[in-house]
Amino acid sequence: MRKGPAMGWLEGSSIVVTGGGSGVGRAVVERFVAEGARVVVLDRSAERLDELTTALGDSIRAVVGDVTRYADHERACACAEEAFGGLDTFVGNAGLWDFARSLTDTPADVLAAGFDELFAVDVKGYLLGAKAAVPLLRRSRGSIVFTLSNASFYPGPGGGPVYTAAKHAGLGLVRQLAYELAPDIRVNAVAPGPMATGLSGPKAMGLADTTIAREVPIDRIVIEQSALGVAVRAEDGVGPYVLLAARESATTTGTVIDISTTGIPRRHG
């Protein structure tokens, strides 16, 4: 889809993005930088972070780490303070998918271990990131933005019970943290729908080396089933992240912008 020019909405902002090495996170990091922000990217893949540093240079700092570990979030936030003088926005985005593995077809031990692994990234990773970012965000009266999903609202083939429950939990986090952290820190989210990215799954479910782009004919499904009838790319959804992070959204908190095109079905005939 056609992109508009950058407007400098995040000029001078310092932002931490988790999972910024690929997919949604990478597209968001690129747009944040174009809008004038400087960004610390926390990702477990050193290789992806190297690529990003080569592409974006001094506007970013790369922190190799795991979002399930509080100390790694602390390192990312300390890096933002040291390199960019503080923190204006924390974006929790790194996630795993369960590839729609069902309750009935998944052995109980796999289900239990997959739950622990996926919730540790998609839910605990957001909680610990917020915890580490709060002291700096209070100072800047900044904001938190989480990446949720169509699975935060709707059941269906977009997830199995593990992923859908995790993304619903993310919605609970947005609402509870918006309440708890007010009036100093705004907390919002963006909920994308299906798209071809590097999204992988829990090792415990045998899905660590699988990606949504490889395993699922996602473009065809989205074209056939979604209102707009076009395949979605990660960069198509960056606008709401910019909007929610920007100071122009000073009274927006506890909100989720649902950008999933599959929420409205395709109109045939």
Q: What are phi and psi of 17, to 5 degrees?
A: -125, 125
Residues numbered 119-138 forming contacts with ligand NAD, rule: CB under 6 A: 121
For ligand NAD, the closer CB: 185 or 191: 191
Binding-site residue total for ligand NAD (CB under 6 A)? 29
- Nearest distance in Å: CB 33, ligand NAD: 17
* Binding residue for ligand NAD, selected from 23, 114, 142, 160, defined by CB under 6 A: 23
Binding window for ligand NAD (CB under 6 A); candidates: 60-68, 178-186, 223-231, 243-251: 60-68
Binding window for ligand NAD (CB under 6 A); candidates: 37-45, 51-59, 106-114, 251-259: 37-45
Cis peptide before 183 (omega within 30 of 0): yes
> Which is catalytic among the residues 126, 154, 163, 241?
163
Pairing of strands 143-147, 38-43: unpaired
* Binding residue for ligand NAD, selected from 143, 197, 226, 261, defined by CB under 6 A: 197
* Binding residue for ligand NAD, selected from 77, 212, 238, 259, defined by CB under 6 A: 212
The SS3 call for residue 200 is coil
Determine if 152 is a binding residue for ligand NAD (CB under 6 A).
Answer: no
For ligand NAD, the closer CB: 133 or 195: 195
d(CA 200, CA 48): 14
Secondary structure letter of residue 256 according to DSSP: E
Q: Is 179 labeled as catalytic in the residue annotation? A: no
d(CA 57, CA 171): 34
For ligand NAD, the closer CB: 23 or 114: 23
Q: Treating both helix axes as pointing N-terminal to C-terminal, what angle do 46-56 and 23-34 enclose, rounded to 10 degrees?
A: 20
Q: How many CB atoms lie within 10 A of CB 148?
A: 30
Which long-range contacts (C-beta less than 8 Å, at least 24 apart) are formed by 206-215? 206/110, 207/96, 207/97, 207/98, 207/99, 207/101, 207/114, 210/99, 212/97, 212/99, 215/99
The residues carrying an active-site annotation are: 163
Residues interacting with ligand NAD, by CB under 6 A? 19, 21-25, 43-45, 48, 66-68, 93-95, 97, 121, 147, 149, 192-195, 197-200, 212
